[in-house]
Structure 1
């Protein structure tokens, strides 16, 4: 368990120690981070092709992904709706013209295309492809180093995080309700509760959950985690404009860790500038929690 946690935490920690002042260098790091996501998903597709009894396992992957997605997102939305009722967040902002939700959804689905390309290549069973799993682990370590650098230079101070109670509370509600949903899904599927907790701990960070859980729980659960978290991002893109009118906390919470990056433009245009600080704090906290909880719950 502790070695797995160190592999996750050390690159994050060392990356967080690196201050960067040049905006151009930060921009290049962000682009490199996006590239590493594609590299990791490509390796994950190759690993998937080496599964025994492949057709039966593909059915299992989508069954697991569907059950976990329904249970986790339902638990999140129920808890967030209760939060919105107990602690209303009035939002009088007039929605701006939104970026194409179809375009953003297609951009997310491109990730499935990268997995598919890796999968097709893996079906050739070329000898050197057996090293795809080890390569993905090194790619993940590098990705976490870049994430640490990005978090350090995101402009968020500890004071700003602790002062934004709304973002912190939404994040905690998402964390605990996701655990409830993951535990229910594990019970329905006859899996260990610890596995359900691991599957619920990425909060939409599909590249991280896919590779960590593939390494620790096998390619079936790792691939199911990827599709579960990707589905969260797609559903968030579609639901934000409707949720933000009456349930602002729900609109932020459904985005998971992506509320500080990919889904932030949709949140800002739908809910105005007032929603941005809470969205960034919420995404920041979940981005810190995700690697730690994934490593903890998936450890043998």
Structure 2
């Protein structure tokens, strides 16, 4: 049951043992990781093109995305205000806002990469039997690099444990997302373990889509990618609206992206007090995405 999980999880663990102090090397590693993500998302598009009944599968992806997104998001937004009540976080009144169009551009680029792979696969007369094997090998390298990034993120165990709001946000996001995933699985009449795996992306759309696609095929991979991408896009809108009154809710909805992609929005609209909370909650969720997703994948298999 756990052989597939160990096969994929091993490079992540190995990468975590590498401590790198050379900033130039870390920058190169980050760039390489970004390029690997682009490559594997392009391959995801090719694998979608290889589906026998693409039109029918596209409807399945859209319906699955909407059900999971609404179910998980609703559970998150109902639960997160509890953290604001129990562990209130003071914010600063700031007027500067980063343009949402600039923040959304990176998400659009990733959609275009998947779309370009789909178009190439549909239009060009090329065999696609190699795509699955190539995706698996690139995934192993990507997880190794991600393990190194997590190790060198700058957060110590003590910094994580002393930040109560960050830990509470992560716990609420995990528990409420799993509830939402179970509800969505019941609505769609699929395995509850698949539903829990789909709910364990926590906003990390690139890795979530890759892992689910590798485990259950391009339909699940495409849906998982879109679920988490929608979370990020909605978070860009929600954060400025909620962060002054419900900062923990705003930070929590961003999920794993609170430590990187949406962090500038959190800082510019909520102030520096929000930054440690966002980094800790985002770090915990990022660390648990491959762990939890692969665990539930192994149970579903």
Could you tell me the TM-score, scaled by structure 1's length? Answer: 0.96
Alpha-carbon deviation of 1:129? 2.7
2:66: which partner in 1? 66
Distance in 1 (CA, whole Å) between partners of 2:229 and 2:235 is: 10
Whether contact under 8 Å (1:50, 1:125) holds in the other structure is: no
Matches of residues 73-88 of structure 1 in structure 2 within 5 Å?
A: 73-88=73-88
Q: Aligned partners of 2:133, 2:237: CA distance in 1, in Å?
A: 36
The answer to whether 1:139 aligns with 2:149 is no
Residue 35 of structure 2 is aligned to residue 39 of structure 1: no
Aligned position for 1:18: 18
SS in 1 for 2:80: helix
TM-superposed CA distance for 1:106, in Å, is: 2.7
For residue 175 of structure 1, what is the aligned residue in structure 2? 174
Report the number of matched residues.
299
Matched ranges for 1:88-237 at <5 A: 88-91=88-91, 93-124=92-123, 126-237=125-236
SS of the residue aligned with 2:129?
helix
Distance in 2 (alpha carbons) for counterparts of 1:249 and 1:10: 33
Q: Assess if the C-alpha contact under 8 Å between 2:83 and 2:168 holds in 1.
A: no
What TM-score does the superposition give when structure 2 sets the normalisation length? 0.95
Distance 1:8 1:271, change over 3 A: farther
1:128 Cα deviation after fit: 4.4
Question: Does residue 238 of structure 2 align to residue 259 of structure 1?
Answer: no
Alignment of 1:279-290 (within 5 A): 279-290=278-289
Gap runs ≥5 in structure 2 = none
Distance of 1:98 and 1:24 partners within structure 2: 31
- How far apart are the structure 2 equivalents of 1:210 and 1:293? 14
Residue by residue over 1:116-162, the C-alpha shift from the partner in whole angstroms, topping out at 9 and shown as x without a partner, is 11011111464443211111111111111111111111111111111
Cα displacement string for residues 15-59 of structure 1 (whole angstroms, at most 9, x for unaligned residues): 111111111211221122211111111010000011121101101
1:95 is displaced (CA, Å) by: 2.0
Deviation of 1:206 after TM superposition, in Å, equals 1.3
Shift of 1:98: 2.0
**Following the alignment from structure 2 to structure 1, what is the Cα–Cα distance between the partners of residues 183 and 294?**
20
CA distance, structure 2, for counterparts of residue 19 and residue 96 of structure 1: 39
1:4 Cα shift? Answer: 2.1
Q: Call closer, same or farther: CA 1:95–1:7 in 2, change over 3 Å.
A: farther
- Cα separation, 1, equivalents of 2:259 and 2:230: 18
Q: CA deviation at 1:185?
A: 0.9
Separation in 1, partners of 2:176, 2:115: 32
RMSD: 1.4
Once the two structures are superposed, residues 262-299 of structure 1 have per-residue CA deviations (whole angstroms, 9 ceiling, x without a partner) of 11111111111111111111111111111011111122
